[in-house]
Amino acid sequence: MAAEPVPEKQAPDRAPLASSVRAGVDQTSSRPASQQVDGMLSLVRNQFNHAVAWAVLLVWSAMLAAPQDTSGENELPTASAAPTRSSEIKTWLEALSAREFSKRQQATRKLLAAGPQAIFALQSAATSSQSESRARAVSILEELSLSIDPETWKPAQAALRELASSSTSSARRAASVLAELGDKQTRRMTRAIRRQGGRVYKLQNGRLRVDLNEEWVGGNRGVQALPRLPGV
């Protein structure tokens, strides 16, 4: 009796299963990837925040650790630390008769720079027993009298006039300075005006004429000084 052939078992169709598996894998693999990116970004942000916090902490610690200079706190100025103008002028007047020429010259420059604040003291120094101090004091007063600043030249000339009318040893020298002051002032101011672009002419009647055009660079200060020019 012939055996009946056993029907072969058909293999299940795996194509739909494979495609569904692949789809599932794709879905599951895409989900962890996005989550991983988010996690990395979160980690980077946390690390950055921590780094900033540590940097701020280190800077603050360094500032706290730095030594603080408190030597000048609650310290009041003293006369020796900040000498008064009168004490400086007194020192410079004494240096007018110093043995070293450089010290005498430096004191002369300092007194000239002090301007009207030194005029009264210079008038007193012009009657000193030291000949060098007397000569330099009168010379400084003469220079201050040639200033264009009325707060300087007016008291300086007044001091010279008082000296000229006194019976001191500087009276003759002060009178000579006053007599020559006008000519010196004219020459000096004429040079200054021409240097700043102005023109100065001497008229037939002996008076001076000043022209200021577009080349003038002396400004208002130079114009205000014109009345000091004799004969204008």
pLDDT tens track for 103-137: 999 999 999 999 999 999 999 999 999 999 999 99
Of the two residues 178 and 19, the one the predictor is more confident about is 178
Helices (H), ranges, 66-170: 85-95, 101-114, 119-125, 131-145, 150-164
User: Does pLDDT of 99 surpass 90?
Assistant: yes
User: Residue 20 pLDDT > 60, yes or no?
Assistant: no
> What's the mean per-residue pLDDT of the chain?
75
In this predicted model, which residue has the larger pLDDT, 75 or 196?
A: 196
Could you tell me the sign of the dihedral formed by the alpha carbons of 30, 33, 35, 37, in that order?
Answer: negative
195 pLDDT band (50/70/90 cuts)? confident
Average pLDDT over residues 179-196: 86
What lies within 8 Å, CB to CB, of 165 at 6+ separation is 171
Would you list the domain boundaries of the chain? 85-228
The H-or-E segment that residue 227 falls in is: none
